[in-house]
Amino acid sequence: MRNSRLMKVPLWLTYAFLYLPILVVVIMSFNSSKNLFVWRGFSLEWYPAVFADEAVMVGLRNTLIVATSVTLLATVLGTLLAVGIHRYTRGGLVRAFAIAPALLPDLLLAIGLLSLFSLLSITLGLHTVIIAHTTFAMAFVTAIVLARLANLDPSLEEASRDLGASAVRTFLRVTLPQLAPAMVAGALLSFTLSLDEFVIAFFTTAPTTPTLPIAIYSMVRFGVTPEINALATMLLFVSVFAVIGAQRFAKVTDAL
């Protein structure tokens, strides 16, 4: 029994290393003092201050535009790519190339996309960030949907075709509902990755269209402020609620 408890110590130390800093950020976002290391009392004043900061709101608006667009594009394209790979390829080379953007270093991918945009004389802006983030996030969606496809029963599609349904109708009425949990998971992952992605956005956006991570980086260079803690806390809760909602949706879909 004692040895079992000792073996859990590294686990709890790892959890503490990962989540204690996040907990400190959340707690200090309610601190009435501007000093991040001195607790003066409970206050909510920094949360309205976030919405009063023009730079933060511009970055938030740009980030939401990019993240929403990337979620839709990456989910659709990643799902179609996964279905195509699963049905029409046999080797692992195509699969490896499909998920390669998820494995490449962000810096390498960012420089490569920036070089491509320069070669094609494409002006940088939110549209280039959307393209870059979609390239990055689509690989994750493809990997998740491929894993789901590997566990599907092909006899259901065969039965649909035998009953006279076309290939498109079979895909929409039989295959797609079974892929819904994986698609939701991929969409959630795409949204969260795009929401806080910094390196690729930094290289592929224009100075006039900063995303929220870039705006936060500009502020942090002069020191972490309570407004940043409040903003980070709000983003944390949005991510937690999105994860819970996606899990519930996946359970309901599996039950149906």
Domain co-membership, 8 together with 97: no
Domain co-membership, 38 together with 51: no
Domain co-membership, 197 together with 155: yes
Domain co-membership, 31 together with 56: no
pTM for this prediction: 0.82
Domain co-membership, 9 together with 52: no
Domain co-membership, 89 together with 175: yes
Q: 46, exposed or middle or buried, with CB in 10 Å at 0-12, 13-18, 19+?
A: buried
| Closest alpha carbon to 98 in 85, 114, 112, 113 | 85
* Six token digits for residue 254: 């599996």
Cβ-proximal residues to 46 (8 Å cutoff; 6+ apart), any chain: 29, 30, 226, 227, 229, 230
Residue-wise pLDDT tens for the chain (256 aa)?
Answer: 556 677 777 888 888 888 888 888 888 888 888 777 777 888 888 888 888 888 888 988 999 999 999 999 999 999 999 998 988 887 678 888 888 888 888 889 999 999 999 999 999 999 999 999 999 999 999 999 998 888 887 777 778 777 777 877 888 788 888 888 889 888 988 888 888 888 999 999 988 889 988 888 887 777 667 888 888 888 888 777 777 776 676 666 555 5
Domain co-membership, 35 together with 84: no
Domain co-membership, 68 together with 6: no
Domain with 36, as residue range(s), is 1-43
> What CATH number should be reported for the domain holding residue 152?
1.10.3720.10
